[in-house]
Structure 1
Amino acid sequence: MNPTPTVVLVPGLRDHVPDHWQTVLATRFAGAVTVPPAADARLSRDTQVTALHDTLSRIRGPVVLVAHSAGVHTTVHWAARHHRPVRGALLATPPDFDTPLPAGHPAPRTLRENGWLPTPRTPLPFPAVVAASTDDPMARFGRVVEMAHDWGSRVVDLGPVGHLNPASGYGDWPQALDLLREFGCRPAPDTEASA
């Protein structure tokens, strides 16, 4: 029987948010690990990729990555540079960095200067599910489907869930548990009833 993988949460560029679904999800899996936010150089792709790589280097055994927003881009940039077995990845609502984002977010030029562009568009070396919103202000649904196709990933249409964050009304996201079970992840027994 395959050992249960460690769930590794890859946040976006946000600060820690207690009611974010990733934060809630971390409490549901024994031994779940969250990639720590960068203290400085937060916009640097290299800083984010290094943080993910350092986190993964401390984990023995299989892992499943759970990335949200810019964390999806961290994950695909990491996968283009590093080789470590990954059982699977849940990639939720990736933004489209090639298109200007809403006010208050970095412009494409800033993202390029910090190493985020171009977005890797080669197949990922592990199975992945891209969870896409039909009304995400950070990316048109069709663009997310294109990225998922290029990454060799299956697309799950979440419907109109905004950016799948607390601002869109999403703290808990129970569907994530079902998607993670596909990769052999099992919630801690004492959290099953609340899931």
Structure 2
Amino acid sequence: MTTPRVLLLPGWQNSGPGHWQSRWAALHGFARVEQDDWLWPRRGDWMARLEETLLDGDGPALLVAHSLGCHLVAAWAGHSRHTARVAGALLVAPPDLERADMPPQVQTWAPMHRQPLPFASTAVLSANDPYCDASRGLQLAAGWDSEIVTLGAAGHVNADSGLGDWPEGIALLQALAARAGLTLGAAAA
């Protein structure tokens, strides 16, 4: 089995040190896709950075997106000619960007891309996500043709959710890798 590159795609304002994405980078050596502007994200700029990162590396990649990073994956997949470089995506806590109460910094990301993704994906949803009603999260995941995992009441599935290193998330990533015929290797075991 091939070992993929794992690319972390944080959402708006990046993921702080207590966030599971940051902990995974430290524990497992996963690479964070750094954006030039975390506070006023421009969809086109973020898509270009993801494209550059994927073209700079070898082998298949697994994308691990949180919040706005989920919409980055959907928007990028709808436009890129290089989607074959991605073996799968773990999409955690996608927000509903079309709600009237979303911050102005992310309103330019609407309308949301809802087309099926051209690679395996798992959407991880929370029953009480303050940025996405449960029914809307299910609609997004269905539009992306994602396998759906519901965590119950886990908030926005971030540092405030108290997940720590989130071993359950690593298990979901390992299952996604296996669906794509890949293995994460010893670092994430």
Class of the TM-score when normalised by the shorter of the 2 chains: 0.7 to 0.9
The TM-score normalised by the length of structure 1 is 0.85
Q: Distance in 1 between matches of 2:38 and 2:87?
A: 30
Q: Distance in 2 between matches of 1:137 and 1:153?
A: 21
User: Closer, same or farther in 2 for the Cα pair 1:173/1:100, shift >3 Å?
Assistant: farther
Task: Give the aligned partner of residue 68 of structure 1.
Answer: 66
Q: Distance in 1 between matches of 2:141 and 2:58?
A: 28
Q: Distance in 2 between matches of 1:40 and 1:27?
A: 20
Deviations 1:49-107 (A, max 9, x none): 11111111111101100000000011110100113221111000000001134xxx514
Task: Give the aligned partner of residue 87 of structure 1.
Answer: 87
Q: Distance in 2 between matches of 1:40 and 1:125?
A: 27
The TM-score normalised by the length of structure 2 is 0.88
2:40 and 2:106 in contact (8 A); partners too: no
Q: Give the drift of 1:35.
A: 0.5
Task: Give the aligned partner of residue 3 of structure 1.
Answer: 2
Show structure 1 runs of 4+ deviating over 4 A.
none
Unaligned segments of structure 1, at least 5 residues: none
Report 1:1-195 matches (<5 A).
Answer: 2-30=1-29, 32-39=30-37, 42-84=40-82, 85=84, 86-101=86-101, 106-107=103-104, 111-112=106-107, 114=108, 116-182=109-175, 183=177, 184-186=182-184, 188-189=186-187, 192=189
1:5 and 1:185 in contact (8 A); partners too: yes
User: 1:68 is aligned with what amino acid?
Assistant: H
Q: Distance in 1 between matches of 2:158 and 2:185?
A: 21
User: Closer, same or farther in 2 for the Cα pair 1:186/1:28, shift >3 Å?
Assistant: farther
